Amino acid sequence: MMLIMADMTKRIQILVIGHNDNGCTPEHEKIAYETGSEIAKSGAVLISGGLGGVMRASCHGARDAGGLTVGIIPQDDPTFANEFCDIVIPSGMGLTRDFLNALSADGIIVIGGGSGTLSEMAAAYMHKKPMVVIKNTGGVSQQYVDKYLDHRNNVKILGADNPKDAVKLILSKITS
């Protein structure tokens, strides 16, 4: 049997990071849901840490909009992933999976967040991945809007006012 190969162009992969269940407000969930929806509408694949909070809400939005979601979870048991992950990668890596998340993405959108979010931002920064923070979502990410993480000036972390603008901006950075 001969397989006919379709266009094998890699789809853009956008990682959404931010507050987990601890610290995620209904407003964060709304913003994350809209971000996931916009990512799906763009034709990109949504990558997340696959658990709760911003991760779950962004996957939910992408799924509802007909998109593909990938959850890279820290556990070795796929049942820990949220129910909106189409593909679950149970890394078994614990917190070091933050590097796998960052390196799997072509670009990152940040919605608030704490130290785990900062870890993913630092990993992405070291590998010069474009990042966009949705402004006024609180958390650790807010202090880096329109700044660099350090003296290396690897990649300027840009700010966007809303999910639609964030997705448009990250796509422009990925494709430029």
What gap in Å lies between CA 35 and CA 167, rounded to an integer?
7
SS3 119: helix
- Burial label, 104 (beta-carbon count in 10 A; 0-12, 13-18, 19+): middle
Q: What is the arrangement of strands in the sheet containing 107-111, beginning at the earlier edge strand?
A: 87-90, 69-73, 45-48, 13-18, 107-111, 131-134, 158-160
What gap in Å lies between CA 38 and CA 42, rounded to an integer?
6
Is 97 a residue whose pLDDT tops 80? yes
Rounded to 5°, angle at Cα 109 from 129 and 93: 70
| pLDDT band per the 50, 70, 90 thresholds, residue 9 | confident
Is 131 a residue whose pLDDT tops 50? yes
Question: What is the mean predicted confidence (pLDDT) over 143-166?
Answer: 97
Share of the chain above pLDDT 70, in %: 95
Torsion 93-98-101-102 (CA) sign: negative
Question: What is the mean predicted confidence (pLDDT) over 6-15?
Answer: 84
* Terminal Cα-to-Cα distance of the chain (whole angstroms): 40
SS3 158: strand
Question: What is the mean predicted confidence (pLDDT) over 136-158?
Answer: 96
Neighbouring residues of 95: CB distance < 8 A, sequence distance ≥ 6: 74, 116, 119
| pLDDT at site 65 | 98
Share of the chain above pLDDT 90, in %: 93
Torsion 92-93-94-98 (CA) sign: negative
pLDDT digit string, tens, across residues 69-96 = 999 999 999 999 999 999 999 999 999 9
pLDDT digit string, tens, across residues 22-70 = 999 999 999 999 999 999 999 999 999 999 999 999 999 999 999 999 9
**Fold classified for 13-175:** Rossmann fold (3.40.50)
Question: What is the mean predicted confidence (pLDDT) over 126-153?
Answer: 96
What gap in Å lies between CA 37 and CA 56, rounded to an integer?
12
- Burial label, 22 (beta-carbon count in 10 A; 0-12, 13-18, 19+): exposed
